[in-house]
Amino acid sequence: MKPTQTPSSTVQQPDDDDDAVPHPHPHQEEEEAQTTSATVKKPKHSAPPNHNQHVADPLAHFLAIPWTARLLTDPAALDIVVSDRRPLASGDTQFVRSLLNSATAVRACVTFFLKLPPSLSSSSSSSSSSQKGGGGGGGVVQGEEEEEEEGISKSKALLRGGGPEDGEDPERPFLLFNALLDLGEDLWGFRGTLHGGALVVLLDETMCAAADNQSRDFFVRLHPSLNWRLIWAGWCVWVDYAFTATMTTKFLKPVKLPGVVMVRSRVVKVEGRKIYVRGSIEDGDGNLMAESEAMLVDKTPGKRSNL
């Protein structure tokens, strides 16, 4: 499946000094934080002038839901974006922008990134080292890592991997991509549950977003405030970068609809042009509903093939 592209792996919030940074991309605008209720304020985010989602204010929509509000107002959340659903003249990404974009399918979508704590991003290598070396104390460290993982996601596969041995560049870290989606009844398979094919599409789109984040050669040079976002069928599709080659999915629990879910993805290894990605779907209680893994091929122009 041909994916869409994702934003740069910025690990800091945009500079507040407008005179010190370039102007944002013309298809986006930085909205000032404003009060949406007595206690919840809008975090800094990017949004196109006319996003064309069914919900008029997707960010306010998710801030009104306690569990999604906690995620969006967490200081660890990076690059919060209201996804663009305006049709493109080229016809690209029409499936997401048109067919899935409705009051009874995907009603609202907001995305953001999380940078994993150093202890987790290096956990796979430390675990393998302790297994090879044996010795006491390893169980305590492993227990602490597992507890920290549980606080982020119950998908251990999603959080493992990374580091120099897996091709992770410190300037282009393996960030955790998160998409909050409000899903309606047109995505039913059996009554009241998400169709398996639709579930795979949601996972594929988010995993492609994570892969594209690793495939672009130019994003490191961009200032964070430029926000050239291509999140979950994003805003610009002038060039293609990563394409799904293989994908497997485990269906763990039925996803009840209508309702809100979080679809997550993260690159866990880069090997030449091969980008290995894992994904998950979770509900508001943190329950793991599905897991997936995929290998994508980097199609960045001029990149040497190592396949």
Residue 84 tokens read as 């663009």
- Domain holding 125: CATH number? 3.10.129.10
Is 12 domain-assigned?
A: no
> In 3-state terms, what secondary structure has residue 23?
coil
- Cβ neighbors of 81 (< 8 A, separation 6 or more) are 7, 45, 46, 47, 110, 111, 112, 227, 229, 231
- Residue pLDDT, tens place only, 117-136: 876 655 554 444 444 444 55
Which parts of the chain fold into alpha helices (H)?
A: 58-63, 66-72, 94, 118-121, 123-133, 138-150, 156-159, 196-215
Is 9 domain-assigned?
A: no
Is 106 domain-assigned?
A: yes
Q: Which of 186-191's residues contact partners 24+ apart within 8 Å by CB, and which partners?
A: 186/102, 186/104, 186/105, 187/105, 187/106, 187/257, 188/257, 190/254
The yes-or-no verdict on residue 86 having pLDDT over 50 is yes
Cα separation, 99 vs 82, whole angstroms: 18
Mean pLDDT of all residues in 126-151: 52
Residue 226 per-residue DSSP state: G
98 close to 46: Cβ distance less than 8 angstroms:
no
- Residue pLDDT, tens place only, 157-204: 999 888 889 988 888 889 999 999 999 999 999 999 999 999 999 999
Is 102 domain-assigned?
A: yes
Per the confidence metrics, is the pTM higher than 0.95?
no
Instruction: Give me the number of domains the chain comprises.
Output: 1
| Domain carrying residue 33 | 18-129+150-298
Asked if omega into 117 is within 30° of 0 (cis), the reply is no
Q: What does the pLDDT read at residue 2?
A: 44
Q: What is the mean pLDDT of the chain?
A: 75
Is 10 domain-assigned?
A: no
Of 114-118, 280-284, 301-305, where does the model show the most confidence? 280-284
Is 154 domain-assigned?
A: yes
303 close to 273: Cβ distance less than 8 angstroms:
yes
Instruction: Give which of 116, 159, 275 is closest to 210, Cα–Cα.
Output: 275
Is 181 domain-assigned?
A: yes
> In 3-state terms, what secondary structure has residue 77?
strand
- Cβ neighbors of 170 (< 8 A, separation 6 or more) are none
Is 204 domain-assigned?
A: yes
Cα separation, 168 vs 81, whole angstroms: 24
Sign of CA dihedral 5, 26, 113, 272: positive
> How far apart are the two ends of the chain, measured CA to CA in Å?
19
